[in-house]
């Protein structure tokens, strides 16, 4: 099976050598190796984490995909499965963990909450999707996604890995990837990249209040 995956159609192999030799590209064999050993980070946020554990457990068992080594340390992980509601209080830590992961690194947003806020989106302490801060590769809808849905999402991630090329991959470029600035907990969550916008907003809010007061007076 692996042979079929790796074999590049179009290269003629002499009949006497078929079954003994396979021709492939560096990209393919490299990606094939990578996609079958994606190590997720052992990192659970909420309800979805329990389904993630169930996926790792014997009924569904994602060890079959080379993912059994769940690492609690971001330094040893390839995939971050954001499994659950991302709260404002937690998001600085998540961004820090993401920054600590070595490249190449992938993010799977598991469930409605991690994708776009989920049922708790309207809450005052909930971030509307982890992709507001870190880039997400695969989104899995569902609340919570069943283990099979999670495996389906992880297989989509494998397909994505398969299609990448060494030449264009960002993590082989000369410049190191810039770390994502860690959000700050102020009167509300503050993204350091957006301080100017925040300042403009609070200023306009104050102006609005003063005009309201003036009209009242």
Partner 1 sequence: MAESPVVGTQLNLLDHFPEWLKKDERPGFEGYIVPAEHLLEFAHALRDRFGYDLLSSVTGVDYLPEGKMEVVYHALQTTGGPVLNFKVQVDRQNPVVPSVVSIWPGADFQEREAWDLLGIRFEGHPDLRRILMWEGFAGHPLRKDWKEPYFEEEAKPYKSRWPEGHVQRAEDRHPLHDNVDYPAGFDPDSWSPETADDVLYKTYQSIMEGSDSELHTDRMIVNLGPQHPSTHGVFRMVVVLDGETVVDVKPVFGYLHRNHEKIGERCTWLQIMPFTDRLDYISSMSNNFGYALAVERLMGIKPPERAEYIRVMMAELTRIVSHLISIGFLLNDLGAYFTPSLYALEERELILDIFEAVSGSRMMCNYFRFGGVARDLPEGVLDKVKELVFERLPRKIDEFDRYLTRNEIVRVRTEGVGVLTAEQAIALSATGPILRASGVPYDIRRADPYSIYDRFDFDVVVRYHGDVYDRYLVRLEEIRQSIRILQQVVRDIPEGPVQTGKPQWQVRVPAGESYGRVEGPKGELGYYIVSNGKPNPWRYHVRAPSFVNLTSLAQMARGGKVADIVVILGSIDIVLGEVDR
Partner 2 sequence: MNGLGIVRGLWVTFKHFILTYIEDIRTGKRRYYSPEGILARTKGDVQGAFTIQYPEEKYPVPEEFRYIPFLVYEEGENGQKNYRCTSCGICAKVCPPQCIWIVRTNDLNTGKPIPAPAEFYIDVDICMNCGLCAEYCPFDAIKMDHDYEIASYNRFTDHIFNKERLGKPLSYYAQIRPQNFAREEAARKAEMEAKAARKAATA
Binding residues (CB under 8 A) for partner 2: these are 58-61, 64, 109, 112, 115-122, 129, 131, 136-143, 145-149, 151-153, 155-156, 160
Q: Give CA–CA dist 161/163, Å, rounded.
A: 5
**Of the two residues 90 and 155, which places its CB atom closer to partner 1 in the complex?**
90
128-147 residues near partner 1, rule: CB under 8 A: 128, 132, 143-144, 146
**Of the two residues 31 and 129, which places its CB atom closer to partner 1 in the complex?**
129
Name the one range near partner 1 by CB under 8 A: 10-18, 24-32, 90-98, 170-178. 90-98
**Tokens 């005052």, located at residue:** 124
Q: Give CA–CA dist 10/211, Å, rounded.
A: 73
Site string for partner 1, 112-131 (x = CB under 8 A): ----xx-xxxxxxxxxx---
| Best CA proximity match to 106, nearest among 70, 82, 86 | 82
How would you classify the pairing of strands 184-185 and 138-140? Answer: unpaired
User: Residue 31 corresponds to which tokens in the numbers above?
Assistant: 């990606």
DSSP output for 25-61: -HHHHHHHHHHTTPPBB--B-SHHHHHHHHHHSTTT-
Q: What does 102 bind: partner 2, partner 1, none (CB cut-off 5 to 8 Å by kind)?
A: none
Using only the alpha carbons of the chain, give its radius of gyration: 22
Is 202 a binding residue for partner 1 by CB under 8 A? The answer is yes
Contact residues for partner 1 (CB under 8 A)? Answer: 42-47, 49-51, 53-54, 57-59, 72, 84-85, 87-90, 93, 97, 116-117, 119-128, 132, 143-144, 146, 184-191, 194-195, 197-199, 201-203, 205-206, 208-209
């Amino acid at each position: 099976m692996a042979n079929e995956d790796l074999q590049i159609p179009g290269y003629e192999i002499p009949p006497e050598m078929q079954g003994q030799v396979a021709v492939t590209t560096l990209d393919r064999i490299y990606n094939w190796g990578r996609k079958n050993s994606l190590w997720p980070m052992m990192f659970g946020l909420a309800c979805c984490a329990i389904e993630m554990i169930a996926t790792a457990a014997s009924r569904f068992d994602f060890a079959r995909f080379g993912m059994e080594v769940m690492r609690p340390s971001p330094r040893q992980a390839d995939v971050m499965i954001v499994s659950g509601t991302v709260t404002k209080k937690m998001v600085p830590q998540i961004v820090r963990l993401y920054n600590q992961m070595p490249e190449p690194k992938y993010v799977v947003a598991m469930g409605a909450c991690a994708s776009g806020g989920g049922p708790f989106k309207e809450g005052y302490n909930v971030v509307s999707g982890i992709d507001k801060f870190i880039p997400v590769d695969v989104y899995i809808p569902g609340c919570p996604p069943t283990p099979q849905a999670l495996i389906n999402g992880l297989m989509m991630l494998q397909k994505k890995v398969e299609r990448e090329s060494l030449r264009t991959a960002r993590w082989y470029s000369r410049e190191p990837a810039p770390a994502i600035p860690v959000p700050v907990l102020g009167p509300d969550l503050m993204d350091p990249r957006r301080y100017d916008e925040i300042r403009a907003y609070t200023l306009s809010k104050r102006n609005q209040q003063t005009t309201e007061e003036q009209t009242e007076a």
